[in-house]
Amino acid sequence: MIAGALLVVAGAALLLGEAHVSSAGVLGAAGVAAVAVGVGLMLSAAGGGVAVAAVLAAATAVAGAGLLVLVLPAAAATRHRRVRTGREGLVGHVGVVRGAPLAHGRHVFVDGALWRAEQTALEPADEPLQDGDRVVVEAVSGLTLSVRRAEEWELSP
């Protein structure tokens, strides 16, 4: 009985690990197997027949494997999505130049926050960014954005 309970707990821990580590289903499969064997051991130790324990363990294994087959592709798809939050999520966003020039650049209003910004080296030096110009974030370095003037096609919704 104790071995079965330990296997169920270990299987649950493996399933939880699968949710947080990309193991391509290895941890999940081991977790399902451990839970199924643990259920079988607990049922047979509780006085159930061997056939009943085997059938319920098999049903547990099939249900767990079915859930893994449904969940794993969705979980794998989330790992390939573009970053949407944090500093890295700002790249490609359009902002507006605000305020007077600073020693190291201007301030840019992007996604509801005011950031220090520098014009990229690709921008022509004879056309500095002015207050109200629309810009696109090219890179983030610390708390400073590297921006360039937005092109017309980037401004249209």
Q: Encoding tokens for residue 54?
A: 């085997």
72 near 28, Cβ under 8 Å? yes
Question: How do residues 56-108 score in pLDDT, each as one tens digit?
Answer: 888 888 988 888 888 878 777 766 666 666 767 788 889 998 876 544 567 89
pLDDT at position 103: 46
The enclosing domain of 120 has a CATH number of 2.40.50.140
What secondary structure does DSSP assign to 14-49, as a single string?
HHHHHHHS--TTHHHHHHHHHHHHHHHHHHHHTT--
What residues does 107 pair with on adjacent strands?
A: 98, 116
- Stated length of the chain: 157
Last residue within a domain, chosen from 78, 103, 134: 78
118 near 147, Cβ under 8 Å? yes
Q: Encoding tokens for residue 38?
A: 């643990």
pLDDT at position 45: 84
pTM of the model: 0.49
- The pLDDT confidence band at residue 1, using thresholds 50, 70 and 90, is confident
- Does 6 share its domain with 74? yes
pLDDT at position 104: 54
pLDDT at position 22: 72
Q: Encoding tokens for residue 147?
A: 């921006």
* Helices and strands, counts by H and E, the chain: 4, 5
Rg (CA), the chain: 28
- Does 63 share its domain with 109? no
Could you list the residue range(s) of the whole structural domain that residue 15 is in? 2-78
Question: How do residues 111-148 score in pLDDT, each as one tens digit?
Answer: 888 888 888 776 666 677 778 889 999 988 888 888 88
More confident residue, 126 or 152: 152
Q: How far is CA 141 from CA 10, 31, 118, 135, 154, in A?
A: 43, 42, 10, 16, 23
How many separate domains does the chain show? Answer: 2
- Does 66 share its domain with 92? no
